[in-house]
């Protein structure tokens, strides 16, 4: 069981302490639900996990990731620098099937702004891994 630290600064984000202070804590947060039904907008929800869009890319300040899932599940989200160091290590709780969105603000696992450059992201859901490249400009 992962203990969750209460009173985090952002509602919807929990910090899980899993490492006895040997490395930064893993962030657990909810995704923003863009659509979970196809009745009103006549939207077809894909039958598998997929990244729909990453924008803006290149970005300055914040990049958004739109993705779809076909059932409520945990999604592992990571960002790495070109040396392979972990910049972001999060678990996204998607509470419903449909279209979701998460964003990254250019901060690393220590809360510090990263430098301009190329970064690689991965989303992992069960056995499927989707990855890509983003460019951060200051």
Q: Domain extents for the chain?
A: 30-136
State pLDDT tens for residues 83-136.
Answer: 999 999 999 988 788 888 999 999 999 999 999 999 999 999 988 999 999 999
Residue 12 has pLDDT above 50, yes or no: no
HEC readout, 7-63: CCCCCCEEEECCCCCCCCCEEEEECEEEECCCCCCCCCCCCCCEEEEEECCCECCCE
The domain made up of 30-136 has a fold known as Immunoglobulin-like (2.60.40)
pLDDT on residue 3: 37
- Tally of CB atoms within 10 A around 79: 23
Q: What is each CA distance from 56 to 32, 43, 62, in whole angstroms? A: 17, 23, 8
Name the band, by pLDDT with cuts 50, 70 and 90, for residue 2: very low
State pLDDT tens for residues 56-93.
Answer: 999 999 999 999 888 888 899 999 999 999 999 999 98
Write out the two tokens for 122. Answer: 């991965």
Largest CA distance in the chain: 49
pTM of the model: 0.73
């Amino acid at each position: 069981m992962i203990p969750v630290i209460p009173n985090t600064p952002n509602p919807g984000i929990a910090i899980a302490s899993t490492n006895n202070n040997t490395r930064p804590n893993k962030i657990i947060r909810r995704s923003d639900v863009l659509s979970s039904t196809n009745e009103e907008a006549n939207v077809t929800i894909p039958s598998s996990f997929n990244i729909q869009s990453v924008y803006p890319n290149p970005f300055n300040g914040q990049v958004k990731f739109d993705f779809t899932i076909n059932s409520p599940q945990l999604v592992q989200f990571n960002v790495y620098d070109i040396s392979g160091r972990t910049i972001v290590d999060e678990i996204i709780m998607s509470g419903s099937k449909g279209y979701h969105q998460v964003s990254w603000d250019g901060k690393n696992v220590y809360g510090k702004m990263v430098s301009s450059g190329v970064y690689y992201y991965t989303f992992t859901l069960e056995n499927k891994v989707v990855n890509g490249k983003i460019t951060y400009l200051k």
